[in-house]
Structure 1
């Protein structure tokens, strides 16, 4: 859950997504401290006026996100979906349009690494590699596949794909790095092919972010305390702190809004300058 002292930025008078319909894939989060990237994005979109469909593999987690949004007086519904199941993705996009009449923003926040059994290439199993591919790349691609016809029909829309700074920097685990790099390539292709329809497609590359999935999973996997994991990660960031889900959500909000009306096909690092140290 989101702590009372970590509720993130409030809404603004601009209401940059007023009247828009946003689907947030991966809007729930795993257990742990802080707010996840997907939950933060769903909340930021709603605070800026969007009607949000919060989608997650766990309906309970999606409902928790929706409840937080509705408690602030905004419109949000929850839906369960497995991104590896194409029929689920079809149902999500259709639900958003049938419920609210359009599909204006698709936010793809899906990804798994260590929790999915990722490892160095010589150590990773075929089953783990294939599952990470199905979630990270195919899940994102097929969500876009079924959102794009609706956006093309209305000749407008914005897609924000969440890749990772691991795609362009040092990262030891093969499947995650490869699939998140592929999300960048997919973003560029879709941006070019769908620009004539008025659809923009962009990508956010989070760096070391303090989310339950990133920090708590590593603490369990490496048998370390949460404080040890945080300390090691902070030491790598020039700005001297880890990012939060709100940092990622704010970047996504810009890309989803009309403030980025002339921005498409980019990959935006949100990493506190860490990639400046990659050489």
Structure 2
């Protein structure tokens, strides 16, 4: 019960269509398993409610909330809802991202509309969520913010908007960490590598008109550790550690969860 009596907001706690489980849902479930009360947030209220129902079925406490991260007013309402329900906010976990499905493309092909869409979802939404939770955490003199970047920030990635926003997520988290350290607020960022999630695998299978098995096998072959992609639970367990008091002296860190892929950069 490493998060006993903690209040957590998980943005992106639902998931899109496909096999398996996404990082956001797994993290919401993992936080609840360890004792946190969880506000399950997603642009799809039905998907957020599915996650909340899974938590409740396992004996945890959760509520669902609908928020489009491109709308600051909805993020402000999200923070207000969590505080109104439970009186404080201990953890903000930002797990929203889009690339191919948002129209991302190579630098010579990206459209203005696609670039703006990906930036609004991947970066601006996190900035605005933090904007509204920070005053509460500062007043508490305690709090944890965990953002999700990607190994695409550090490695070869073909699409410009995803790489740019996930790189910016690391810099933004470092800024959060140093500027809020005097208030006792910690901020860290996780860089998932090749993961077996609906967003990563099923989206590529659909857009490339390929079988899921082929896409998964191609990705597995690129992973140094056991030649097998990670799962959402690997990201969730990393987030659990960073959210817990076990990581009390850790802030401003970019943590790869990648099966060793970052070791061979260069």
- Confirm or deny a common fold (TM above 0.5): yes
TM-score (norm 2): 0.99
For residue 143 of structure 1, the aligned residue among 111, 129, 144 is 129
In structure 1, the gaps of 5 or more residues are 1-14
2: CA distance between counterparts of 1:278 and 1:188?
A: 22
1:106 aligns with 2:92: yes
State the distance in 1 between where 2:186 and 2:114 align. 32
Distance 2:264 2:156 in 1: 10
For 1:102-123, what per-residue CA distance to the aligned partner results, in whole angstroms no more than 9, with x for missing partners?
A: 0000000010000000010111
Equivalence map 1:161-180=2 (5 Å): 161-180=147-166
Distance between the aligned counterparts of 1:204 and 1:221, measured in 2? Answer: 26
For the aligned residue pairs, the C-alpha RMSD in angstroms reads: 0.5
Misfit runs of 4+, over 6 Å: none
- 1:274: how far off? 1.1
Alignment-derived partner of residue 236 in structure 2 = 249
- Using the TM superposition, give the Cα deviation of residue 90 of structure 1 relative to its aligned residue in structure 2, in angstroms: 0.5
* 1:271 equivalenced with 2:258 (yes/no): yes
Is 1:87 the counterpart of 2:87? The answer is no
Q: Deviations over 1:175-221 (max 9, x none)?
A: 00000000000000010000000000000000000000110000011
SS of match in other structure, 2:238: helix
Number of aligned residue pairs: give it. 265
Whole-angstrom distance in 2 between the partners of 1:62 and 1:44:
15
* Cross-structure match for 2:61: 75
1:190 maps to: 176
Question: How far off is 1:277 after superposition?
Answer: 2.6
Q: 1:159 aligns with which of 145, 162, 177?
A: 145
1:259 to 2:246 alignment: yes
Matches within 5 A, 1:192-271: 192-239=178-225, 240-271=227-258
* Aligned counterpart in structure 2 of residue 119 of structure 1, from 105, 114, 117: 105
CA deviation string 1:139-164 (max 9, x = no partner): 01111110100100111000000000
Superposed displacement of residue 238, structure 1: 0.6
Indicate the SS of the match to 1:217. Answer: helix
**TM-score, length-scaled by structure 1:** 0.94
- Following superposition, the deviation at residue 222 of structure 1 comes to 1.0
